């Protein structure tokens, strides 16, 4: 059932290009000129006049939510808040019938996310679910939603569900933006075209597997890791750090790179591995100077860059090249090598990657 792979997690990482093809099938036309999420068309009026979106989720799904915020605010010009479901549900939040709550959950059974939905519904909000497990509790308690269609995820560490969630959030933002007329036709076509090329680019990102497996051996000594990113890459840094923590039991922190100088840079010395997502996009120059700051303190930089990068490759201790895409879809590519890095470090350390200690696949109790 692992299809020849040693672990479900590796199988699920490698499956991602096909999962994303499945996720987009029937939603993007073959010409690559239109995106339709039926839930949005069915509830167009409600969604178009929403004053605010609130995304509720936990763990990896919450990280996908942060990317969703960036996408929806950029292209739909609607304010979006991203909340940990466990905090939202106990805070007596201000919420009413002008709000749309997007609940993101792979399993569709997470207790805190379900409770957050119940609360929001009682306050009159419209609830949109983004789930994987068909027929689970969350899709049954929402007004509408979109499945991510990535197939069953068995590994406790979430991988393909994350990229599926981000893909649905991108399609949601594009469909809404088109209907709200908050995106130009050129920009819309550019992103849809890029979205269609994502599965092939993911295949290329997966080809870094051997390179990452050899790096992993070098870093089993570490007790701490820092992950840095900016803009769309900041949630990817959080996600990379969470993957490493949960399966290798190495402490890791994800940070927005510019926050380093407000405290965490004190942790940097020649022992500290610093993973930086530094692909070629609007934040490139900023992240480059953040890398210089780390190198000035002798940190060991592992940089994930775009193909052909000649600047960061000279600065970083280790540099891994990835295919380039448009900025808002970059997380779909950059997440993959971070999943692989966590996987190989955990395997080198002899840990049980599919069933890490203390963790359950669905957190059905609060």
Give first-to-last CA distance, the chain, whole Å: 31
- In the region spanning residues 143 to 202, those forming contacts with ligand M6R, defined by CB under 6 A, are 156-158
Tokens of 140: 């049954």
Least distance from ligand M6R to the Cβ atom of residue 126, Å: 20
Q: Does 363 bind ligand M6R (CB under 6 A)?
A: yes
Tell which one of 106, 142, 163, 325 touches ligand M6R (CB under 6 A).
106
Asked if 294 and 276 count as a contact pair (C-beta separation under 8 A), the reply is yes
Q: Compare residues 116 and 301 and give the one whose CB is closer to ligand M6R.
A: 116
CA distance 11 to 160: 10
Asked if 312 and 262 count as a contact pair (C-beta separation under 8 A), the reply is no
Q: Does 58 bind ligand M6R (CB under 6 A)?
A: yes
Least distance from ligand M6R to the Cβ atom of residue 138, Å: 8
Handedness of CA 194, 199, 202, 204 (dihedral sign): negative
Least distance from ligand M6R to the Cβ atom of residue 90, Å: 17
Which residue is it, tokens 């929402």? 142
Which residues 6+ apart lie within 8 Å of 294 measured at CB? 228, 260, 265, 268, 274, 276, 301
Which range, of 54-62, 204-212, 227-235, 341-349, touches ligand M6R by CB under 6 A? 54-62
Tell which one of 60, 163, 175, 334 touches ligand M6R (CB under 6 A).
60
Is 201 catalytic? The answer is: no
Site string for ligand M6R, 305-344 (x = CB under 6 A): ----------------------------------------
Which range, of 7-15, 52-60, 210-218, 226-234, touches ligand M6R by CB under 6 A? 52-60
Site string for ligand M6R, 110-129 (x = CB under 6 A): x--x----------------
Helices (H) and strands (E) in the chain, counts: 15, 10
Nearest to 257 by CA among 216, 220, 222, 299: 299
CA distance 193 to 266: 43
Tell which one of 16, 47, 59, 275 touches ligand M6R (CB under 6 A).
59
CA distance 157 to 339: 9
Which residues 6+ apart lie within 8 Å of 227 measured at CB? 237, 238, 240, 241, 244, 252, 253, 254, 255, 274, 275, 276, 277, 338
Which range, of 12-20, 42-50, 193-201, 356-364, touches ligand M6R by CB under 6 A? 356-364
- What residue number has its CB nearest to ligand M6R? 59
- In the region spanning residues 236 to 265, those forming contacts with ligand M6R, defined by CB under 6 A, are 242, 246
* Positions marked active-site: 361
Kindly list the residues in this chain that would bind ligand M6R in the complex (CB under 6 A): 58-61, 105-107, 110, 113, 156-158, 242, 246, 359, 362-363
């Amino acid at each position: 059932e692992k299809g020849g792979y040693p672990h479900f997690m590796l199988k699920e990482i490698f499956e991602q290009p096909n999962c994303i093809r499945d996720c987009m099938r029937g939603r993007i036309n073959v010409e690559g000129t239109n995106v339709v999420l039926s839930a949005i068309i069915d509830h167009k009026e409600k969604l178009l006049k929403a004053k605010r979106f609130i995304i509720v989720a936990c763990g990896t799904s919450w990280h996908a939510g942060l990317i969703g915020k960036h996408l929806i605010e950029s292209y739909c010009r609607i304010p979006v808040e991203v909340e940990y479901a466990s905090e939202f549900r106990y805070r007596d939040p201000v919420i009413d019938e002008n709000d749309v709550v997007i609940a993101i959950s792979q399993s569709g059974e997470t207790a805190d996310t379900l409770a957050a939905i119940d609360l929001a519904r009682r306050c009159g909000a419209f609830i949109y679910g983004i789930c994987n497990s068909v027929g689970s509790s969350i899709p049954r308690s929402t007004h509408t939603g979109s499945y991510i269609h990535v197939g069953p995820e068995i590994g406790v560490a979430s991988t393909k569900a994350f990229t599926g969630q981000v893909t649905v959030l991108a399609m949601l933002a594009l469909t809404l933006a088109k209907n709200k007329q908050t995106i130009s036709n050129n920009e819309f076509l550019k992103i849809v075209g890029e979205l269609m090329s994502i599965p092939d680019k993911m295949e290329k990102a997966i080809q870094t597997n051997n390179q990452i497996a050899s790096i992993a051996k070098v870093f089993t000594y570490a007790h701490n890791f820092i992950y840095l990113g900016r803009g769309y890459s900041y949630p990817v840094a959080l996600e990379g750090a969470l993957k490493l923590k949960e399966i290798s039991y190495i402490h890791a922190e994800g940070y927005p790179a510019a926050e380093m100088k407000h405290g965490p840079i004190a942790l940097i010395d020649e022992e500290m591995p610093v993973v930086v997502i530094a692909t070629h996009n609007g934040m490139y120059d900023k992240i480059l100077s953040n890398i210089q700051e780390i190198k000035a303190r002798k940190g060991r930089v592992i940089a994930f860059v775009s193909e052909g990068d000649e600047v960061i490759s000279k600065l970083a201790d280790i540099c891994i090249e990835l295919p380039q895409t448009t900025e808002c879809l970059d997380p779909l590519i950059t997440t993959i090598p971070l999943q692989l890095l966590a996987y190989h470090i955990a395997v080198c350390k002899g840990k049980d990657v599919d069933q890490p200690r203390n963790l359950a696949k669905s957190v059905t109790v609060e």
